[in-house]
Amino acid sequence: MKIKTSDFVTSAVKREQYPDTDINEIAFVGRSNVGKSSIINSLTNRRGLAKVSQTPGKTRLINFFIINNEFHLVDLPGYGYAKVSKTEKASWGKIIENYLTDRPQLKKVVLLVDSRHKPTEDDILMYDWINHYGYDIEVVATKKDKIKNSEFRKCEKLIRETLKLPSNKKLHFFSSLNKIGKEELSDILFSDLVDETHSN
């Protein structure tokens, strides 16, 4: 799927601040240092669309972007950053949970994990959360360029087993640096959102 336009819409913390539209949404979520902003910028062909912070855990808002004037891409706050207080962590979790709990426009959630490491307890909790709320989920392992080809199968096995991914569920690997397979991943993540929007 070719992304022609991508623009910032609004930032939100509370439900009443979300865009008041009925267009489909796809949300990206992951640990605060997983490279979420980089993959969003790579897939949308906009270098500065999602702000890449040098300070992990800095994104505390839900950011909405309009893609091709057809659907929203939603950037959820990063979680799991160690250098913030428990109170702050809890507030981020509440922001994410409130969005996931009652958002009929949300059709799919992309969970980002680091391809180099075993998914954390927070990653497992988030995967289970998304499934609990019944959303379509795609798991993308970021920073593929950081692992050797000889390590690929081992890393894939570790992620699949830790998250308990079903055997029929594809695990996508991607590098925002070399962008190999970007068009294919874009099709997988976005095409059905557009098809559904057009059919409504």
Task: Answer whether residue 1 is part of any domain.
Answer: no
Q: Do the bridges between strand 71-75 and strand 25-30 make them parallel or antiparallel, or are there none, so unpaired? A: parallel
For the chain, how many residues are written?
200
Put the strands of the sheet holding 6-12 in their side by side order. 6-12, 62-67, 71-75, 25-30, 106-114, 136-142, 171-173
Q: Do the bridges between strand 136-142 and strand 171-173 make them parallel or antiparallel, or are there none, so unpaired? A: parallel
Distance CA 195, CA 66 (A): 16
| pLDDT at residue 87 in the model | 59
Residue type, 68: N
Close Cβ partners of 13 (under 8 Å, ≥ 6 residues apart): 60, 61, 62, 95
Q: What SS3 class is residue 135?
A: coil
Alpha-carbon distances of 72 from 80, 164, 168, rounded to whole Å = 25, 29, 27
Task: Answer whether residue 103 is part of any domain.
Answer: yes
Please write the tens of the pLDDT for every residue from 73-132.
999 988 866 555 565 555 667 888 889 988 999 999 999 999 999 999 989 999 998 999
Task: Answer whether residue 53 is part of any domain.
Answer: yes
| pLDDT at residue 56 in the model | 47
Local mean pLDDT, 10-residue blocks, the chain (200 residues): 90 92 95 88 80 53 93 89 56 81 93 95 92 94 94 96 94 92 92 66
Q: Do the bridges between strand 106-114 and strand 25-30 make them parallel or antiparallel, or are there none, so unpaired? A: parallel
CATH number of the structural domain spanning residue 136: 3.40.50.300
| pLDDT at residue 45 in the model | 82
- Name the residue with tokens 């409504």: 200
| pLDDT at residue 54 in the model | 46
The whole domain housing 137 covers 6-199
Considering its fold, how many domains does the chain have in total?
Answer: 1
Whole-structure pTM value: 0.89
Distance CA 54, CA 44 (A): 21
| pLDDT at residue 101 in the model | 87
Distance CA 90, CA 92 (A): 5
